[in-house]
A and B are shown apart, each in its own frame.
Chain A
Amino acid sequence: MIDHADPSQTPADETTAKSRPFMLALLCLLGVFALGTAFGIVGAMAEDGVTPVALILLAVALGIAGTAGWGAFRLYARATSGPESPRVRFSRMLLIAGGAMGLVMGIAFSVASDTTGSADLFGNGPLPGWLAGLTIAAYVLVGGGLTLAWLRSIDEHEMQANNAGALAGLCTYLFVEPSWWLGARGGFLPEHQPMVTFLLVLTVYTAVWLWHRSR
């Protein structure tokens, strides 16, 4: 819908505003993927030695990560250029803090994986006790605190979008988890991977939440 009452808003601006959350999510995912690739290349170089091809791939991965990060920052800056109430600004800061916490946890796992050789985030193998304990503490205490604070700070429209996403995520879990469990026991599905289900639920929740938030 074009905002005719806002002289500064054109149809092109409106299209940009509607697609902004998706572009932001896409750029963040691309940046994280490129950073992960860069970490992988550095790990390979540590094991196999530095080669020109590896250096070029590392430069490309870092270039993509940098471009995605810059693009995400520009989009975010444009989205938050208007006046905002302290509550809206606070809830956004909590979201950013949650994302930063996830990034720190991912980097910690990556570093621990290089040093212990057993800290695969998406595997089912054993973990060093200290790493599992620290991650649980960070996830439950910091993540839980951030989530509670965010839920208390958002407005009713955001809450409605969040509820729609949460319901979609719950339905995904209710149908995927038992089906996979039964299929694995029946021998026609691969071994059950809890983190894959978790990521699937998280993806569905986030997609529905962002769609409801921006439509």
Chain B
Amino acid sequence: MNNRLKVLRAERNWSQAELALRLDVSRQAVNAIETGKHDPSLPLAFRIARLFEMPIEEIFHD
């Protein structure tokens, strides 16, 4: 699954560690999601969507 997480993070000038802190996950988890090696669960996808104040489908797409 593709996503715009890296772009959205860059727009806010957050590091991976800062985003991980806001999502309560490890930096490795953020990196794995950004690179498409880990598809987040639905609860985490909702947390990401709430953090960026966007619908899930605008962040994640297949």
Using a CB–CB cutoff of 8 Å, the interface residues on chain A facing chain B are: 1, 3-6, 8, 82-85, 87-88, 155-158, 160, 213-215
Contacts and interface: CB of A to CB of B under 8 A. Distances in A.
Contact of B34 (A1, A87, A160): A1
Contacts of B51: none
A215 B35 CA distance: 10
Contact of A157 (B10, B17, B28): B28
A75 B38 CA distance: 25
Given A85-B25, A155-B29, A156-B44, A215 B37 contact: yes
B26 A155 contact: yes
Given A84-B21, A156-B41, A4 B26 contact: no
A-B CB proximity, top 5 nearest: A82-B17, A5-B10, A157-B29, A155-B25, A83-B21
Interface of B: 6-7, 9-10, 15-18, 20-21, 24-29, 31-35, 37-38, 40-41, 44
Contacts of A157: 25-26, 28-29, 32-33, 38
Most A CB within 10 A of own CB, among B9, B16, B29, B40: B29
Contacts of B10: 4-5
Contacts of B6: 3-5
Given A83-B17, A156-B25, A3 B40 contact: no
Contacts of B35: 1
A82 B14 CA distance: 12
B40 A156 contact: yes
A194 B32 CA distance: 36
B32 A85 contact: no
A28 B17 CA distance: 25
A8 B10 CA distance: 12
